[in-house]
């Protein structure tokens, strides 16, 4: 059972990528089918503007998480990066899922549903703001040379009694 964790990660990544590609294909096919076959009034400009970046994100996630195998013996060379990782990867998944929702809403409700995509930049601004304020609060007081160190209750009691006493034998 050599590299069990790597094999598990490779299997999980392959299944996530397959599910992602199939979902994307179905959503885009449904939108384009509604646009061209049933002559529903759908503008292609917002579709192209919002779908192209998410297709680029999907391509990047595929390159990031696709497992690599040796062609000679079929052994696992690299399991790929963890597609469930926090940080930028998580944000990319959020953008991808939100765009899927917008495409589905545009299929059902029409072109005004593309306005839902405004949430993505607002979410980015909110994340940047909370990161900045958290970092600012975490770094507060580092530049102060006279910053006071908080004392414990025990230290305060000892100082009230006259300081720490040392017994000599």
State pLDDT tens for residues 55-81: 999 999 999 999 888 888 888 888 888
Domain assignment present for residue 76? The answer is yes
Domain assignment present for residue 146? The answer is no
Domain assignment present for residue 25? The answer is yes
* Torsion angle defined by CA atoms of residues 113, 110, 58 and 16, in that order, rounded to the nearest 10 degrees: 90
Domains held by the chain: number: 1
Chain position carrying tokens 């963890």: 82
pLDDT of residue 164: 64
Domain assignment present for residue 121? The answer is yes
Average pLDDT of the residues of the chain: 83
Domain assignment present for residue 9? The answer is yes
Question: What gap in Å lies between CA 128 and CA 42, rounded to an integer?
Answer: 34
pLDDT of residue 58: 95
Determine the structural domain holding residue 65 and report its residue range: 4-125
Domain assignment present for residue 134? The answer is no
Tell me the CA distances in angstroms from 106 to 6, 77, 93, 111, one per residue in order.
Answer: 39, 42, 20, 5
Question: What gap in Å lies between CA 149 and CA 28, rounded to an integer?
Answer: 59
> Which tens digits make up the pLDDT trace of 130-169?
888 877 777 766 665 555 567 778 877 877 777 666 566 6
User: What is the pTM for the complete model shown?
Assistant: 0.69
Domain assignment present for residue 154? The answer is no
> Which tens digits make up the pLDDT trace of 11-60?
898 999 999 999 999 999 999 998 888 766 667 888 888 889 999 999 99
pLDDT of residue 76: 86
Question: What gap in Å lies between CA 55 and CA 31, rounded to an integer?
Answer: 15
pLDDT above 80: residue 125: yes
E strand or H helix at 76: strand 76-78
Domain assignment present for residue 108? The answer is yes
Question: What gap in Å lies between CA 92 and CA 8, rounded to an integer?
Answer: 22
Of residues 89 and 135, more confidence is placed in 89
């Amino acid at each position: 059972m050599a590299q069990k964790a790597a094999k598990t990660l490779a299997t999980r990544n392959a299944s996530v990528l397959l599910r992602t590609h199939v979902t994307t294909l179905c959503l885009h096919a449904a939108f384009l089918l509604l646009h061209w076959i049933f002559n529903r009034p759908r503008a292609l400009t917002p579709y192209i503007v919002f779908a192209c970046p998410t297709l680029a994100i999907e391509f990047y996630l595929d390159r990031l998480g696709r497992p690599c195998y040796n062609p000679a013996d079929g052994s696992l060379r690299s399991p790929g990066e963890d597609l469930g990782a926090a940080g930028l990867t998580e944000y990319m998944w959020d953008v991808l899922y939100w765009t899927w929702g917008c495409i589905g809403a545009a299929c059902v409700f029409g072109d005004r549903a593309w306005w839902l995509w405004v949430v993505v930049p607002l979410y980015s601004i909110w994340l940047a703001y909370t990161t900045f304020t958290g970092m600012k609060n975490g770094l507060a007081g580092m530049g102060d040379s006279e910053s006071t160190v908080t004392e414990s209750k025990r230290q305060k009691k000892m100082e009230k009694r006259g300081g720490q006493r040392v017994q000599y034998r």
